Amino acid sequence: MRTAMELAEHGQFTAAPNPLVGCVIVSKACRIIGQGWHKAYGGPHAEVEAFESIAPEDKALLSESTWYVTLEPCNHEGKTPACAALIERIKPKRVVIGMMDSNPAVTGGGMERLRRAGVAVEEGCLAGELAWQNRRFFWNAHEKRPWVVLKWAESSDGFMDGRPSARRLPGAGGFPITSEAARPMTHAWRALEQGIAVGAGTALIDEPQLNVRSIEAPSPRIILLDPDGCIGSKHTLLLRNPSLIHVIGETFATTATHTCAWRVSEGLDVLLERLYAQFNLSSLLIEGGASVLNDFLKQGAWNEVKRWTSPVAIGSGLPAPALPEGTLPLPDGRASAGRAGEDSWQNRLHPRHAFD
């Protein structure tokens, strides 16, 4: 099962909004004869990939085989056929499932179908670790909103930007806090989430790219939080990103192809529900600015915090948000802090999440 979980991780940048799933097929003689993972949304599921990887000479071993699957095989047809139907047709001796699928279209149905077919089914292997691996997927299923990660960088004395307000003018460009050594991890954090959100003020002043450049991975979809209609049609973000989602008040005009109507008075919970319902965003990285980050913190509309801290003090400027009290470390002994060059990072969970 741990091998299957490691295989599932290969889909971390491409499977969303589907879950990460891995599958390992083992012969009666305890030899792996097939393995696979869900590579991309809309593509073959892990069970199909594992089955198709089996060498022709090993197909005769399937009737006595054991399948290890990190998530309950689906029992419904969507973009692909039901995986439970494939396993039912093959009828292996045993299927070991890491976690039951919380999707109402699946929950328990895949396991029951296999049991009715005479396959021995076991469930609950490494369930805690697998819950963390698919935290976004399970959160989506239960809450109907994206998993939200807040990310910022601050100086050793607690500032996000060392410039006085008079110098934080439109088009002034970003103010670097961390060194180049932090960039690959920062871009990996971006690639893990389906969307990346920034407030209108930050878009106007810093003109950020909000893409992935330091690693081989797709860039997240940009969400521009602009409820007061501050961003004009000629802004770089709108011109360069046709898939950008412009979150804007109902009374303001926009040239963006994809829009989400929202007023600040409605609260962030409403915004997150709309982004999920309209665009099926499984996760969202909030990159700033400070006002937006503080609003998410105050309203409790977040799941993780990822914070960089530079060893350099800048004396004054824009204060960084305060890390909330009671945050939790990552589960199962995963690193919740570390370093990249001279910069240090922390990764903490909202107190509502207790994966152990």
Half-sphere CA count of 350, side-chain side, radius 13 A: 17
Strands (E) in the chain, as ranges, are 22-26, 32-37, 66-71, 94-99, 120-123, 147-154, 159-161, 195-199, 221-226, 245-248, 258-261, 283-288, 304-309, 318-319, 337-340, 343-349
Tokens of 101: 């699928």
User: What DSSP assignment string belongs to 71-98?
Assistant: EPPP-S-SSS--HHHHHHHH--SEEEEE
How far apart are the C-alpha atoms of 187 and 285, rounded to whole Å? 11
Structure tokens at 111: 């396991």
Rounded distance between C-alpha atoms, residue 66 and residue 27, angstroms: 7
Closest CA to 335 of 324, 326, 348, 323: 348
Residue 105 phi/psi, 5° resolution? Answer: -75, -10
Under 8 Å CB-to-CB from 234, ≥6 apart: which residues?
none
Which is it for the CA torsion 53, 55, 60, 65, positive or negative? negative
Burial (Cβ within 10 Å: 0-12, 13-18, ≥19) of residue 42: exposed
- Name which of 223, 217, 148, 215 is nearest 183 in CA terms: 215
Instruction: Please report the sign of the dihedral spanned by the C-alpha atoms of residue 12, residue 190, residue 182, residue 151.
Output: negative
CA–CA separation, 245 and 318 (whole Å): 27
Give the tokens for residue 137.
Answer: 């997927």
Strand partners, 122: 96
Instruction: Give the residue numbers annotated as catalytic, written as ranges.
Output: 47
